[in-house]
Amino acid sequence: MTLGRADIAVVTGGAGFIGSHMVDVLLERDFEVRVLDNLIGGRESNLAQHAGDARLSFELGDIREQNVKSSIFADARFVFHFAGIGDIVPSIDQPLDYMSTNVMGTVQVLECARAAGVEKLVYAASSSCYGLAAVPTREDHPIDPQYPYALSKFQGEQAVFHWNRVYDLPVNSVRIFNAYGIRSRTTGAYGAVFGVFLRQKLAGEPFTVVGDGEQTRDFIYASDVARAFLAAADTDRTGEIYNVGAGKPQSVNRLIELLGGPVVRIPKRPGEPECTWADTGKIRTELGWEPAVPFEEGVARVLERIDDWRDAPLWNPETIAQATEGWFEALSSKGDR
């Protein structure tokens, strides 16, 4: 399908990590893009490269507080729903916040999209819904959330498909594996390995590697994720779930090799898989999507922008132990269920 100048897309969380890459892709395709973000996890500077572009507008706001007749959604063709709380570890101690934002916030966005009569809503789901999964993991794998973040994202996805079934709202869901890239969060809670390691590298401190570092993650560059979302919107298919990962798991030790630096070991966290590995056969076959950024190239791009992490929190084994105390307390006795 040829995309025209009149196309309008809403990106919730569009000043955030993946959302800002979504904005890049949409503007490249000549969309008019409306960003809704509360700037708790995102930064307006993530959109600075588009300053002065009349096709881009920004509104500060919480997804839970949007009126169903909001002008942000009026006449929109697509809605890309990224807004939500993305940090995993704090969800153990703050489950109400996660449920409120990731579930009820999603319901509010669904109602706005329904009132606007959008052509397609694409939901940013999480591969964490699979839990301690068999690999490579297909979309029909049993669901087994291990912590509140995973549960909240899955319940948000359930709401998306409920609106599809009951209200005929056209939707698709993309389950993101381990996204990385420039513009990932540089402030806030202990979380994604890239942000932790980059700040440690800047400070000349050792990388805090969980366990032996042989655990693997299906790292996928953020711009590849954004292209997958556009493919999931610009299709006649609806009511579908698509995994998005590179399909080539990389070990934490391999990441350390590419970053370069000393290592200190910290305890492995319960409830986390040894390997994440997306079976991407469905999205490749049905939507023709392929990842374009090799892992080594993606890491090099991030290192070129390492100064972006200079003001990020500097984590060490002691502060990580404090941040994950609730996690260990809640999950250590549960076993690998």
Cα 324 to Cα 36, 89, 332, distances in angstroms: 31, 7, 11
The number of beta carbons lying within 10 Å of the beta carbon of residue 333 is 8
Q: What is the mean pLDDT of each run of 10 residues along the chain (337 residues)?
A: 66 98 98 97 95 97 96 97 94 97 98 98 98 98 97 98 98 98 86 92 97 96 98 98 98 97 95 95 98 98 95 95 94 61
Query: Residue 32: which residues within 8 A CB-CB, separation 6 or more?
Result: 5, 6, 7, 8, 9, 55, 56, 57
* Burial (0-12, 13-18, 19+ Cβ within 10 Å), 20: buried
Beta strands in the chain (DSSP E): 8-12, 32-37, 56-60, 78-81, 120-126, 171-176, 178-180, 207-210, 216-217, 219-221, 240-244, 250-251, 263-266
Residue 334: predicted pLDDT: 55
Question: Residue 180 is encoded by which pair of tokens?
Answer: 């990385």
Residue 333: predicted pLDDT: 64
Residue 6: predicted pLDDT: 61
The closest alpha carbon to 254, from 310, 295, 224, 208, belongs to 295
CB 317 within 8 A of CB 267: no
CB 20 within 8 A of CB 84: no
SS3 of residue 11 by DSSP:
strand
Cα 11 to Cα 24, 26, 148, 210, distances in angstroms: 11, 10, 24, 34
Residue 332: predicted pLDDT: 85
The closest alpha carbon to 182, from 11, 307, 289, 83, belongs to 307
First to last CA, the chain: 45
Cα 151 to Cα 131, 140, 273, 293, distances in angstroms: 10, 17, 16, 30
All structural domains of the chain with their residue ranges: 8-178+221-244
SS3 of residue 216 by DSSP:
strand
C-alpha–C-alpha distance, residues 272 and 275, integer Å? 9
Residue 3: predicted pLDDT: 46
Q: Evaluate the omega torsion of the peptide bond into residue 136 and state whether it is cis, within 30 degrees of 0.
A: yes
Query: CATH number of 8-178+221-244: 3.40.50.2300, 1.10.10.10, 3.40.50.720, 3.30.1490.100?
Result: 3.40.50.720
CB 213 within 8 A of CB 271: no
CB 289 within 8 A of CB 234: no
149 is catalytic: yes
C-alpha–C-alpha distance, residues 99 and 119, integer Å? 27
Determine which one of 98, 123, 147, 149 is catalytic.
149
